[in-house]
Structure formats: structure tokens, C-alpha cells
Amino acid sequence: MTNTVYLDHAATTPLDGEVLQKMIPYLTDVYGNADSPHAVGRKAMLAVDSARDAVAQALNAKPNEIYFTSGGTESDNWAVLGGAYAQGKKGKRHVLVSAVEHHAVLYCAERLQADGFDVEFLPVSNTGTLDVATLQRYLRKDTALVCVMAANNETGALFPTRELAAAANACGALFFADCVQLAPHMEIDVKALGADMLSISAHKFYGPKGAGVLYIKNGVKIEKHVGGGEQERGLRGGTLNVPAVVGLACALEKTKRELPARQEKMRALRAAFLRTVSVLDGLSVNGDGLPAVLNLRVAGVKNDTLLYRLDLEGVAVAAGSACASASVKPSHVLTAMGLSEKQARECVRISFGKENTEEDVVRAGEIFVNVVKTVRGEK
């Protein structure tokens, strides 16, 4: 993998070395079950408690608002289903979901539809975002829940979470923001964002895979997610994955500390890549927001061909999101932004990370240019 230029950080990131070191004792010596009352268990619980405090502090939340999960997908499922079912018991059965949500949310929307909820999909602009006026048009007295991600995983487009949350709350609806793609790149302050629930996932910010958080604002009632154990205040049973929780907290703290430098680096990497590939005709950028995510359409070149050839040359990029990349379906995000299915199949996602150098990115850009020219028969 040493010669590979990895430009797929929106899919996942490598584990940070400092995070790994923090996790190792909990994979070896401190093996206790955090719920066991003896000293071995208490040692593990101490680590969980301090991780919960650290996560709460990083997000400007309270420790009892932090629920550890197995990642973004689980947090999203819990928020959407748990939020909607709890509201449904109060007679609210209308759910609004942006058309560009991650499949973890779209799957739940379909389940709610099958359960008789009235689910509507909020349209996005051609830059892939959603304004408050659009949300206002869809809100109703019986709206139970509004789900709009904070940053999109395919385009990096940003959403005005604070305003959207305020509009939803003013109507009596809960607001859930999937912050999985925001967390690696911007500070998350739950008070400033104003969401009732938000999700993050450690492997997107150099933490371990299979570790996530669902923040649930105090006072917000959602349904129990996993039964059979009293962990996570009785709402999400199951023995806690202590090393993962410790790693998540460490990675989140480190991300927050290094955020200004990382943001500057992402801007420089994006600019270097765009400068290098700008010799090509027929390029256009889809959406705009996070500098670390660049969704590029290469007119006339199919993304599966481009991906395959780039991979052979040692450059790793994606078409759409990681989970959708093996499928032949055009991206629902890009078609919601107004691209035709053919155009959507000409788009690739390049996402930069902290271990990339400008030199690597320029080299990847040069390979990109060569591959596109070869596919177009220009060389």
C-alpha cells in the first residue's frame, strides 16, 4: 500500500498512531467488562467514564447525553427509528428526510413508510444543499421528525443545521443531524447546532472502525434501541467495546485540537489537485462545502472505468459513497441535485486526508489526467 495515494478518506481513514497507543492497554491488560462490579471491571468502567466525559466536552454536551454505539449506521438507525416511533406514540406520524441522506437514514425512512408513517423527501438545490424556506414548506403540525445531515458524504455540501433545527423545533418536530462527515472537518458544538440528536463515527476521523456516538439532548425521549442489557442508560444494551470507546474519544479530542491546521491543509490539497487536473476539458465540480471532499464530473468518462484504471495506477478514489460504490446504480445524491443518470455515472469523489502530502496529491492529479486522456483516446 506504500505507493498508493489514498484519496478516499470520506469512506474511511487510517487509524492514528496515538489513538492506537491509547487503545492497546484496553485490548490487552484492561480486559474487564465495564459492568462488572469488581476491580477488573471498574478499571474498564473508569476508562469508559473518562471517554464519555471527553466526548461530551469535545461536543459541548453533557456526559449523560452521549450514547456509545457501533458506528454511524447504528446511530442513524437509532435516531431515525427511535425518534419517529417515540413521536408516533404521541400521534405524530409525518417524517421529513432530505433526498441526499446516507443509506443508513434512507433505509429507516423506507421502514417507517412500510410501518404507515407518512415520509416525504426534501428536495435539494443544484449545489446539493437545503434552505430553511424549503423545509418550512414541508413542515406540518404532525411532523414527528426532520432528518437532514450536516455535511454530505458524496459532495461535502454543508447544510444550515442551526436554522433547520430551529424551524423543525418551532413546529414541534425533533431534528436529527447526521454529522458523520462533518465531525472530521469542523468543530461540533451541540448547543450551536441546536439538533436534538446527532451522530458521529470514529473511523471517519482516524479512530477505530465500529465505534460511534449518538448524542441525544437531555429531555428528548426516543425509543430503546437494543434490549437485553442495561448499558447506555438502559437504551442500548450490550457489553461496551471499551478499546473502541477509548479510541473514539482520543481521536475526537485530537481532531478538535488539530482542526485549524487540518482545515488549512485540506484547502491546500484540494487546490493542488484542481490545479493539476485543470488541463482537462469537460470537468465540473458538484456541490461545494467541505474542502476535503471533491466531487468531480469528467464528461464522457464513465466512473467505473476511471476508478478501475486509477486503482491500477495506485490512486484510490470513489464513485459515490463507499457502500454504494460496488453498485451500478447512479448516485441518488447527484440525481437529486439535477444531474442525469448518465452524468451521475461520470462523477468521482476524491477525498483528502491528513497523511496526504501536496506531492502525493499532485502525482495523483497527473495520473488522473493521463488516465482520462487515455480513456478519451487523446493519447
Cell numbers representing residue 106 in the block = 434512507
CA–CA dist 197, 75 (Å, integer)? 9
Please state the closest distance from residue 69 (CB atom) to ligand PLP, in A: 9
Q: Contact between 71 and ligand PLP (CB under 6 A)?
A: yes
Cell numbers representing residue 169 in the block = 423545533
Please, what is the angle between helix 358-375 and helix 242-277, to 10°?
A: 60
- Out of 149, 193, 334, 361, point to the residue binding ligand PLP (CB under 6 A): 149
- Out of 13, 155, 181, 241, point to the residue binding ligand PLP (CB under 6 A): 181
- CB contact at 8 A, 70 and 211: yes
Listed residue (212, 258, 209) closest to 236, CA to CA? 212
Nearer to ligand PLP among residue 301 and residue 307 (C-beta): 307
Q: Contact between 178 and ligand PLP (CB under 6 A)?
A: yes
Cell numbers representing residue 195 in the block = 439538533
Binding-residue total with ligand PLP (CB under 6 A): 16
SS3 for 85? Answer: helix
Q: Contact between 102 and ligand PLP (CB under 6 A)?
A: yes
- Out of 128, 212, 247, 353, point to the residue binding ligand PLP (CB under 6 A): 212
Candidates 68-76, 158-166, 217-225, 369-377 — which segment interacts with ligand PLP by CB under 6 A? 68-76
Q: Contact between 13 and ligand PLP (CB under 6 A)?
A: no
Q: Contact between 76 and ligand PLP (CB under 6 A)?
A: yes
- CB contact at 8 A, 279 and 148: no
Which residues lie closer than 8 Å to 137 by C-beta, 6 or more apart?
Answer: none
- Out of 20, 104, 318, 364, point to the residue binding ligand PLP (CB under 6 A): 104
Please state the closest distance from residue 116 (CB atom) to ligand PLP, in A: 26
- Out of 13, 231, 321, 351, point to the residue binding ligand PLP (CB under 6 A): 321
Q: Contact between 295 and ligand PLP (CB under 6 A)?
A: no
Q: Contact between 315 and ligand PLP (CB under 6 A)?
A: no
Length, in residues, of the chain: 379
Please state the closest distance from residue 76 (CB atom) to ligand PLP, in A: 5
Tell me how far the alpha carbon of residue 103 is from its chain's centroid: 11
Residues acting as catalytic residues: 323
Q: Contact between 200 and ligand PLP (CB under 6 A)?
A: no
Cell numbers representing residue 342 in the block = 448518465
CA–CA dist 21, 118 (Å, integer)? 48
Q: Contact between 356 and ligand PLP (CB under 6 A)?
A: no
- Out of 95, 164, 180, 197, point to the residue binding ligand PLP (CB under 6 A): 180
Please state the closest distance from residue 156 (CB atom) to ligand PLP, in A: 11
Q: What angle do CA 293, 297, 298 make, to 5 degrees?
A: 130
Q: How many CA atoms lie within 13 A of 290 on its CB side?
A: 32
Nearer to ligand PLP among residue 96 and residue 149 (C-beta): 149
Q: Contact between 161 and ligand PLP (CB under 6 A)?
A: no
Q: Contact between 201 and ligand PLP (CB under 6 A)?
A: yes
CA–CA dist 132, 130 (Å, integer)? 7
CA–CA dist 84, 29 (Å, integer)? 41
Residues that bind ligand PLP (CB under 6 A): 71-73, 76, 102, 104, 149, 153, 178, 180-181, 201, 203, 212, 321-322
